[in-house]
Structure 1
Amino acid sequence: MLGHNAIHVIGMRPGSLELGPREWSILERAQVIAGGKRLLAACALASTPERPIRPERQIPIAGPLDEVVRRIKREAHKRVAVLADGDPLFFGFGRMLVDAFGPDRVVVHPNVTTMQLAASRLHLPWHEIETVSLHGRDDFTPLYAAISRSEKVTVYTDHVHGPSSIAEALLKRGAEGFTLTVMEDLDTPQERIRRLTPEQAWDAEFSPLNVVLLERCHPAETPLHLGVPDHLYMHEKNLITKQAVRATGLGLLGVAPGHTVWDLGAGCGSVAIEASHLADHGLVFAVEKNRRRAGMIRENVRRFSAWLVEVVRGEAPACLENLPEPDRIFIGGGLGPDSGDGDSLLDTACARLKRGGRLVIHCILLESLLRAKASLEKRGWPFGATQIMASTTDPLAGDLRFKAQNPVFILWAEKP
């Protein structure tokens, strides 16, 4: 029963919107009921003279959720019930209510989730499927991150990011090796399940009540890991951050799962691609001004299925203006004597880096090293430097010799 201080968050079965006797009893006694328009309408239809559901007030869950929480708080002295789809704590409103009122005030009544229903229709064990939600988001970052690491991904859609826009996002990123199983109106008489290619889904029509399962058609051409051999990357004129130097730079960057990473002067994208393996719940931007090299980054993203990496082609620092502030910045190019805007690039990078963020700069030329060192000293940032001189084996006279690579200076600093 509804206690004076309890807010009951009730999950309704997706599609049929069925509830158990206990939940109906709670709704009968509720003075205030909050929920989406569809769920409130279902309650009104289920109300009968023998079992009436007649709250004093209804609060539609629409628009900014912060405002919905404030409206519920104003009614929190009454008997309040909140309606949700499936499990309210599975990509639902329940977490926000627990945060707002505290776990002692909120009672959660879970139901079957849309993802569970979808998995049962396809006879798939749902614990093997990763799930992401695009509800209320303005980007596809969770989707790109999920398809980079998982073979099967369930996507909760909304009126903006539906199956067609998901297909468009995949094709624009170059992620064509997926099928979309679109499940519409699950657990209703209108239920329909279609398996489509991204091209087929792009301009198709769908019911607004849908969930999408993405399945990889084939594994990544090359598995992504740290320390990928240089020859597996497409690159030109030996313009690649070499394996040993790359590993050192990434180690000094200290990329964590949720970080936003900038790779400036990305070349073939090797640092950005391996950084995405570490920032697998974050954002990674590979910035490169050269059109041909930007195309190579996109090809390398495809080879490694590193779909989290977004290629930004343009002149830095101008092209950085609309990027989110980074936790980590790697500068692999753009500071040499032929880059007249090197000081401006450093100024912008240091200004945009978050406090406590890390900056790593690779320099081959002495002038680049001195420019970076002077910039860090001017700001009073604590920094360190190391020199990497690696050699790799090379065939010679039926045996092997060690062939030296160019020495690289690595500067690293943390923003106070």
Structure 2
Amino acid sequence: MSHAPVTVVGIGADGWSGLAPGSREALRRAEVLIGGPRQLDLLPGDCTGERVAWPSPLRPAVPGLLAAHAGRRVCVLASGDPMFFGIGRTLAGILGAERLRVLPHPSSVSYACARLGWPLEATEVISVVGRPPAALSAALHDGRRLLVLSSGAETPAAVAALLRERGYGPSRMTVLEQLGAERERRVEGAAQDWPHLPGDPLNVIAVECRRDPSALRLPLTPGLPDEAFAHDGQLTKRHVRAATLAALAPAPGELLWDVGGGSGSIGIEWMRSHPSCRAVAVERDPVRAERITRNADALGVPTLRVVTGPAPSALTDLPTPDAVFIGGGLTAPGLLTTCWEALPPGGRLVANTVTLESEALLTDWYRRHGGELTRLAVAHAVPVGGFTGWRQAMPVTQWAVTRRPGPQQPPRPRPTTHPTAHTHPHQEAHP
């Protein structure tokens, strides 16, 4: 491809009249104009460049399309600000920032906040354009203001239905259509009895979150209530889960392997810690695997990947993890070794167990690789006749370790006696 820069012009629903002089001049001088049919139709006749509509699917076609017009003055049209959920990100990744000239227009989010009187920096934005609407669930907190970038005319009704399902039926919704254009329009109502038929496909949905008092409250901190997850008992319980997430230490953009996924609680909470966190849940039982998918949708992380199959064989060809959690099947031959060798330097491994056989295995790995070996014990107050007493849950042994670069640290002194680890495959219940 030629090294000539590609110009990206943001355009709003107000079309040509809303463009700055520099953007108009770039469009007039372009030999090739690439955009969606709606955007191309907004240009006047004195934009004489060859008009090329984006094919579908768009992203895979971008490199070939740019190559086909190499050496010509190419101008790409984008909705609003090209670098805000727009084509600008894709083009920057393909061409590099040095070959991109971006002329932004106010985004639909800027227009919406201006119309509503909402401070932009205090408003969370969720896009459901080409993304599962269930991602909205993770952003639902009482009193929060959200802007949802819509995928079409049916999106407002779908958002209203999701709010009702998640216990946010009292939330106030405002749909803003054709922002900035002469045909701009807004409709309002409560999610629980959303009264409006589908309108213009070009819309943004403003949501003022109001939780029904009877709905389960889901905090941002690790350790969601156990009842937030559908499960069959295969669940890392709340207090142990919070300690496990603290040991895994998620950071933006990182990938987790949740091995022996059970109900998916660890992978789900890992992804809820930041929108860019990713996780793969590996679960051999297909019924549980399907349940993990449902839990991920309900808790706002629908992009959690679920792999159905036994570990370690199911781990083949997975992308390199930043952290691994093993919550079941520790004594399966080769599992710990496979997970350990998959980690890059600086990667973390956390394993939980409630059985003596797996505890012996973790003790041996702790002796050889260091880290932190912890016993977690939780007791709950329960009625005892007319009084109250403590009921002890099964204690959990947790090994947490970071893989260091270069030679591993020397083994710790071997104890006088050391139990032999059980070597047969064993599917352990999540503690």
Which of 101, 110, 113 lines up with 2:104 in the alignment?
110
- How far apart are 1:78 and its partner, in Å? 2.2
State the alpha-carbon separation in 2 of the partners of residues 387 and 246 from structure 1.
14
Question: 2:168 matched to 1:176?
Answer: yes
In structure 2, relative to structure 1, the CA distance for the partners of 1:311 and 1:348 (3 Å cut) is farther
Give the aligned CA root-mean-square deviation in angstroms: 5.3
Question: Which residues in structure 2 correspond to 1:167-316 (within 5 Å)?
Answer: 167-170=160-163, 174=166, 176-177=168-169, 178-198=171-191, 200=193, 204-218=197-211, 221=217, 223-226=219-222, 241=237, 243=239, 245-261=240-256, 271=266, 274-283=269-278, 307-308=300-301
Look up the match of 1:363. 353
In structure 2, relative to structure 1, the CA distance for the partners of 1:31 and 1:332 (3 Å cut) is closer
Question: Which residues in structure 2 correspond to 1:33-72 (within 5 Å)?
Answer: 33-43=33-43, 46-47=44-45, 52-55=46-49, 57-63=50-56, 64-72=58-66
In structure 2, relative to structure 1, the CA distance for the partners of 1:161 and 1:233 (3 Å cut) is closer
CA contact 1:15–1:188 (8 Å) conserved in 2: yes
CA contact 2:224–2:238 (8 Å) conserved in 1: no
In structure 2, relative to structure 1, the CA distance for the partners of 1:133 and 1:202 (3 Å cut) is farther
Look up the match of 1:409. 397
State the alpha-carbon separation in 2 of the partners of residues 141 and 231 from structure 1.
19
CA contact 1:34–1:58 (8 Å) conserved in 2: yes
Look up the match of 1:330. 325
Whichever residue aligns with residue 168 of structure 2, its letter is E
In structure 2, relative to structure 1, the CA distance for the partners of 1:159 and 1:407 (3 Å cut) is same
Which of 127, 135, 140 lines up with 2:129 in the alignment?
135
Specify the SS of the correspondent of 2:72: coil
- How far apart are 1:113 and its partner, in Å? 1.0
State the alpha-carbon separation in 2 of the partners of residues 7 and 112 from structure 1.
20
- CA deviation digits over 1:315-348, x for unaligned, max 9? 9759x99xx866544344566xxxxxx7399589
State the alpha-carbon separation in 1 of the partners of residues 228 and 88 from structure 2.
46
Look up the match of 1:124. 118
In structure 2, relative to structure 1, the CA distance for the partners of 1:134 and 1:221 (3 Å cut) is closer
- How far apart are 1:77 and its partner, in Å? 1.9
Specify the SS of the correspondent of 2:41: helix
- How far apart are 1:252 and its partner, in Å? 2.8
- How far apart are 1:90 and its partner, in Å? 1.5
State the alpha-carbon separation in 1 of the partners of residues 307 and 68 from structure 2.
50
In structure 2, relative to structure 1, the CA distance for the partners of 1:372 and 1:196 (3 Å cut) is farther
In structure 2, relative to structure 1, the CA distance for the partners of 1:257 and 1:412 (3 Å cut) is same
Look up the match of 2:375. 388
- CA deviation digits over 1:249-280, x for unaligned, max 9? 22332322334546567788875665355344
Question: 2:76 matched to 1:77?
Answer: no
CA contact 1:275–1:284 (8 Å) conserved in 2: yes
In structure 2, relative to structure 1, the CA distance for the partners of 1:332 and 1:187 (3 Å cut) is same
In structure 2, relative to structure 1, the CA distance for the partners of 1:80 and 1:269 (3 Å cut) is closer
- CA deviation digits over 1:393-412, x for unaligned, max 9? 989xxxxx999875421134
State the alpha-carbon separation in 2 of the partners of residues 54 and 89 from structure 1.
26
Look up the match of 1:339. none
In structure 2, relative to structure 1, the CA distance for the partners of 1:311 and 1:204 (3 Å cut) is farther
CA contact 1:360–1:413 (8 Å) conserved in 2: yes
In structure 2, relative to structure 1, the CA distance for the partners of 1:317 and 1:191 (3 Å cut) is farther
CA contact 2:325–2:349 (8 Å) conserved in 1: yes
Look up the match of 1:338. none
In structure 2, relative to structure 1, the CA distance for the partners of 1:312 and 1:161 (3 Å cut) is farther
State the alpha-carbon separation in 2 of the partners of residues 261 and 38 from structure 1.
41
Specify the SS of the correspondent of 1:343: coil
Q: TM-score, normalised by structure 1?
A: 0.69
State the alpha-carbon separation in 2 of the partners of residues 414 and 160 from structure 1.
49
Q: Which moved more, 1:25-34 or 1:324-333?
A: 324-333
CA contact 1:183–1:191 (8 Å) conserved in 2: yes
> Which residues of structure 1 form unaligned runs of 5+?
336-341, 396-400
State the alpha-carbon separation in 1 of the partners of residues 337 and 195 from structure 2.
38
Look up the match of 2:28. 28
